Amino acid sequence: MNTLPINWLTEGLLDFEYKKYMLLAYLQTAKTEFGKQRLYPIFSDLIMHYRNLQQVKEHKKLVYEQFPQRISRADFEKLELVYEKIIEDDETMQQIEEIIQFAAPLMVNAVGEGKELYDFIERHIEINPVGISPMYFNEGYLFLDAFPGKETQVYLYRITVFENTYEKYRGINTQHLKTVRRGLSQTHENLKVQLLKENQELPNPATFVIASKVPVPLEHSLLPIAKRTLVKYVAKMAA
């Protein structure tokens, strides 16, 4: 996959045509991935580049590797590096501004395409608990049913909660356990009972099934969105 270096805006040859070529090649890769219904890792990478571009455009704050000679002070507590103001007639800044003016609307359009795809997939998945739900939801099993097909991907999941003074964040880790073919004798409920027998360290695990109603790639779209959906669902149940 054609990637874009994190400091593409300022590293290497600072030439408008060269940067334009780099950006257009990268955005074409993103468009191709979205056309294949593949969201990750390109979508999160694209969002990161867009945010970096906005940061440079709005605040003139750059990462350390970009202009180390311009650093005036460092705020390590906030993990930010504040730079000396670059005067308006500075040739380097003029080149950067020209590149930003070209890149920003293209980035906005590309992020918009990715969000449309994300929202479409999210609207076409359904989450439901399997069996009786326990009081503890941060660890258990995730059953993932892709469309079409009769197979269920079985994952062990763990949700970790991080808190600071202002916000609470939830992260999720999944471990793929096995692939099971569903049938009359192998329902989601029966599969949960089977897992209880195999792993008695989780005597009454929270178990959820997420099913897709449209065909999308498992690893590059369905699983990442399913994980985010599960985190949001568990957060509501725990509220």
- pLDDT tens digit string along 43-70? 999 999 998 888 877 655 444 345 544 4
pLDDT of residue 56: 77
The encoded tokens of residue 65 equal 């590797």
- As a whole number of angstroms, the distance between CA 124 and CA 213 comes to 5
Note the pLDDT of residue 3: 85
What is the Cα 71 distance to its own chain's centre?
A: 31
Give the model confidence (pLDDT) of 92-128 as tens digits.
Answer: 677 888 888 999 999 999 999 999 999 999 999 999 9
Per-residue pLDDT of the chain (239 residues; tens, 9 = 90+): 678 988 888 777 778 899 999 999 999 999 999 999 999 999 999 999 998 888 877 655 444 345 544 444 444 344 344 444 444 446 767 788 888 899 999 999 999 999 999 999 999 999 999 998 888 899 999 999 999 888 999 999 999 987 665 566 789 999 999 999 988 888 999 999 999 999 888 888 999 999 999 999 999 999 999 999 999 999 888 77
DSSP designation for 126:
E
Q: Which pLDDT score is estimated for 31?
A: 96
Domain boundaries, the chain: 16-123, 125-238
Apex 177 CA angle, 174 and 183, nearest 5? 120
Q: What is the pTM of this model?
A: 0.82
